[in-house]
Structure 1
Amino acid sequence: MNLSVFLTGMTMGLSLIVAIGAQNAFVLRQGLRHEHVFAVCLACAVSDAILILLGVTGFGKMMALAPWLDPAMRLFGAAFLIWYGGKSLLSALRSGEALAVGAGAEKRGLPATLLACLAFTWLNPHVYLDTVVLLGSISTQFPGFEASFAAGAMSASFLFFFSLGYGAKRLRPLFARPSAWRVLEAAIALVMWTIALGLIAGA
């Protein structure tokens, strides 16, 4: 286990996962309502872990058959990160809205809740770009330590989802303030662009 690579994977995983989206809003809402919080957090984190594993293990085999794939995917990943960072920065500059987490909906049973949770995760096309493609391509920068990178990224998913689900009650005042989201989005943009420069330099 390489600690530096592990922390890089964790940082990259967190920077991708904290962006405002339907899945995070769903987890936050479940936490605020105290409904099936453990099951929802576990479903999201395990789904991420499966996708990250597919990305990290699949890229080595694919590049052995197609050597051109590594630089191509690094440039693709850099372009995606630049776009993602720009979107986050634009949101930080223009957004005036807080995240809506209304708790007035009717209580759902566990099967229905898990089905909705898995739909938010697996039916979102961006999750494949973030985990399989993007994290898979970044892991190639650490030959021999891909497992450390994957472990860091997976740990980020477990850390984030369980913190969000169980910390939702305490976070509610923060999420009600638009200024907090602006700071978060600006930080995401900075992280994305820093990683994009690293990918371009290694292509």
Structure 2
Amino acid sequence: MTLSLSLIMAIGPQNAHVLRMGLRRQHLWLTVLSCAAADIVLISLGVLGLAKLGGLSDKLLGALVGAGVLFLTVYGWQAFQRFLRPDTAPVPTAMPADGTTARDSTTTARQAIASALAFSFLNPHAWLDTAVLIGTASLAYGQGHTTFGLGAATGSVVWFLLLGSVAFWLGRRLNSLRLWRLLDGVVALMMWGTATTLVAGLF
């Protein structure tokens, strides 16, 4: 659990996406559930088999890097467009009685799930941290590797619930167009920076 938390706490694309959905109050808990479920799948792959196979193959890793770079570049471009034209990204309105906001109409539940899963499965760092690193570490526990995997999965669930709660709390109190523009600018730079790092890692 400690290893899982230490790996996931860095503000990467996945965490930035959860924060953004929470601050904008768009399908936050669906996003949290999707990210946690994806991490559980990756951790299970590592603990139950991937580590014993020696990690990811070069071809699979190359395919993940290519897909991840494309996804992060496109998502970064969309965030940059919102940064340039903040008028297209209105500030969230007060929460109605049903718990939705005016922004909910801009993102469907299916799109929210697809985005969360893409940030999880198309991020090579997520595969290396969860499937490979945690999976390899579990080998040191012998027959207790399953318990180790459960602890790591628990750490992931705890983190996303905590991150989602903080983002939700902030989203109810921050209502500034300047903040949303700053957030989109930071997200664009983070996505492009991660994509550049992935490409550089190939050489």
Give the TM-score, by structure 1 length: 0.63
Give the structure 2 partner of residue 134 of structure 1: 122
Report deviation, 1:44: 5.1
Report deviation, 1:126: 1.9
> Take 2:196 and 2:154, find their aligned partners in 1: how far apart are those partners?
23
RMSD: 3.9
Gaps of 5+ in 2: 101-107, 136-148
SS of the residue aligned with 2:68? Answer: helix
> Take 1:19 and 1:87, find their aligned partners in 2: how far apart are those partners?
13
Q: Is residue 43–residue 153 contact of structure 2 (8 Å, CA) maintained in 1?
A: yes
Q: Is residue 86–residue 189 contact of structure 1 (8 Å, CA) maintained in 2?
A: yes
Report deviation, 1:182: 0.5
Q: Is residue 24–residue 171 contact of structure 2 (8 Å, CA) maintained in 1?
A: no
Report deviation, 1:186: 0.4
Question: Quick check: 1:162 aligned with 2:165?
Answer: yes
Report deviation, 1:63: 8.9
Question: Quick check: 1:81 aligned with 2:72?
Answer: yes
> Take 1:13 and 1:149, find their aligned partners in 2: how far apart are those partners?
17
Report deviation, 1:81: 0.7
State the AA in 2 paired with 1:80.
F
- Matched positions, count: 172
State the AA in 2 paired with 1:98.
P
State the AA in 2 paired with 1:163.
V
Give the structure 2 partner of residue 33 of structure 1: none
SS of the residue aligned with 1:25? Answer: coil
Superposition pairs of residues 152-191 of structure 1, within 5 angstroms = 154=157, 156-169=159-172, 171=173, 174-175=174-175, 177-191=176-190
**C-alpha spacing 1:153/1:20, structure 2 compared with 1 (3 Å):** same
**C-alpha spacing 1:158/1:127, structure 2 compared with 1 (3 Å):** same
Give the structure 1 partner of residue 12 of structure 2: 11
**C-alpha spacing 1:154/1:199, structure 2 compared with 1 (3 Å):** farther
State the AA in 1 paired with 2:14.
G
SS of the residue aligned with 1:19? Answer: helix
**C-alpha spacing 1:23/1:130, structure 2 compared with 1 (3 Å):** farther
Give the TM-score, by structure 2 length: 0.63
> Take 1:53 and 1:3, find their aligned partners in 2: how far apart are those partners?
13
Q: Is residue 89–residue 185 contact of structure 1 (8 Å, CA) maintained in 2?
A: yes
Q: Is residue 13–residue 152 contact of structure 1 (8 Å, CA) maintained in 2?
A: no
Q: Is residue 68–residue 122 contact of structure 2 (8 Å, CA) maintained in 1?
A: yes
> Take 1:86 and 1:72, find their aligned partners in 2: how far apart are those partners?
21
**C-alpha spacing 1:76/1:14, structure 2 compared with 1 (3 Å):** same
CA offset digits 1:148-185 (Å, max 9, x no partner) = 9978865552233111334444x2xx32x211101000
SS of the residue aligned with 1:91? Answer: helix
Gaps of 5+ in 1: 28-40, 109-118
SS of the residue aligned with 1:24? Answer: coil
Question: Quick check: 1:199 aligned with 2:180?
Answer: no
Question: Quick check: 1:144 aligned with 2:144?
Answer: no
SS of the residue aligned with 1:144? Answer: helix
